[in-house]
Structure 1
Amino acid sequence: MRFLITALLCSLFAGCASTPRQPITSVNIEEIKPRYIETESFKRISEYMSGKENLGDRVVLRTQPQERAGYYFTLILDTDVRRLPAGTVVVGEFYTKKSVEKQSHEFTLPNKRPTTKEIFVGLTGEDWPEDSGVPAAWKFSLKDANGQQLGEKQSYLWSL
């Protein structure tokens, strides 16, 4: 009888532990930290051995994926990036010295994501050819695969 009760309790606990989380319908971008980052800041020891970039526990999205140096915005979320729905898109809009027109870039989050609350979004290569200066204004939106907005944050100048 004890064996039967123990087996029932174990299966009950296992069933509760494997219940999937509800999909996220909104996310708060708590903070955005903009800064210029050099190529060397992305290199790890394993890259010298394998020749391949190792992002580790970072989610890095670049306008020019082959170029690492550039102006990055670190989006700090209130939830883990892994909890975002599949097909989540980060939309970055910028006003820079490069053009008087607004630049807009869309990035789809990779399917395999590390456990982190940060997303690095970089203007790299020709999109940010200098190591000084800052974008005049910016806005970021997170959207699910259907285009529904999950979250948004903008600079003060964007709203003017």
Structure 2
Amino acid sequence: MKNSPVLTRFIRGGLLFLLLGLSAATAAELTFVRVYTGWRDAASFKRISEYFTGRENTGGEAVLRTHADQRAGFYFLVRVTNPAAARTVTARLGLISAATAQPVTHTFTTPLKAGDTVFHLGLTGPDWPDAKAGPVAWKLDLTDDTGRVLATEQSYLWEKPATP
């Protein structure tokens, strides 16, 4: 039985529609659920199990620090939703502080599972010595291994507001 040209176009169109729909579903991007910022003392990370094991217990959350041996610092508590398969991302954190007018960038690499992931980005040691100071503005980009930006979150003051 020979297919009519109309049926062939219909089948091809349907297949193309399905393929485009599947590629859009797999290309779904990360989304930030929330970003909280604030100073954390070193003692706030210590759990009872650490007294017995001598190892830091992060509760299954990634804790990434600019100086791994120092816990006290200014942290970004980040929760993201990853609709795709597990992957590794690079968090690029740009900061403007009262001490510097130009942004300073810190990068962290972290694995993300499918679904929700929580991680802490800590500016520790000499990268943030003042417990009473906060950033003037910040911007957080999550990028894939090729450098493509997957998601961005920023403080209100990161960009100069448009003048009316």
TM-score (norm 2): 0.73
For residue 3 of structure 2, what is the aligned residue in structure 1?
A: none
Name the counterpart of 2:31: 28
Measured in 1, the distance between the counterparts of 2:156 and 2:100 equals: 20
CA shift at 1:118, angstroms? Answer: 1.7
DSSP 3-state at the match of 1:99: coil
How many residue pairs get aligned? The number is 136
Deviation at 1:143, TM superposition (A): 0.5
Structure 2 unpaired stretches of 5+:
1-24
1:97: Cα distance to partner? 2.8
**1:85 counterpart residue number:** 87
User: Letter of the aligned partner of 1:119 in structure 2?
Assistant: F
User: How many Å apart are 1:30 and its aligned residue?
Assistant: 2.5
- Give the aligned partner of residue 7 of structure 1: none
- CA RMSD in angstroms comes to 2.4
Contact kept in structure 1, 2:79 and 2:116, CA below 8 Å: no
- Taking structure 1 as reference, are residues 25 and 40 closer, same or farther at Cα in structure 2, changes over 3 Å only? same
In the superposition, relative to structure 1, how do residues 152 and 84 fare at CA in structure 2: closer, same or farther (>3 Å)?
farther
SS at match of 1:46: helix
CA distance in 1: counterparts of 2:85 and 2:71, whole angstroms: 26
Q: Is the 8 Å Cα contact of residues 23 and 85 (structure 1) preserved in structure 2? A: no
Q: What's the counterpart of residue 99 of structure 1?
A: 100
Secondary structure in structure 1 of the residue aligned to 2:147: coil
Aligned to 2:150: 150
Q: Is the 8 A contact 1:91 1:142 kept in 2?
A: yes
What is the one-letter code of the residue matched to 2:42? T
TM-score of the superposition, structure 1-length normalised? Answer: 0.75
Q: Report the Cα offset of residue 99 of structure 1.
A: 2.5
How does 1:38-77 map onto structure 2 within 5 Å? 38-77=41-80
Q: Deviations over 1:135-158 (max 9, x none)?
A: 000000001111111100111100
SS of 2:140's equivalent in the other structure is: strand
Q: Distance in 2 between matches of 1:40 and 1:125?
A: 15
- The runs of at least 4 aligned residues of structure 1 exceeding 4 Å deviation read 22-25
Give the corresponding residue for 2:130. 130
Structure 1: tracts of 5 or more residues without a match: 1-21
Larger Rg: 2
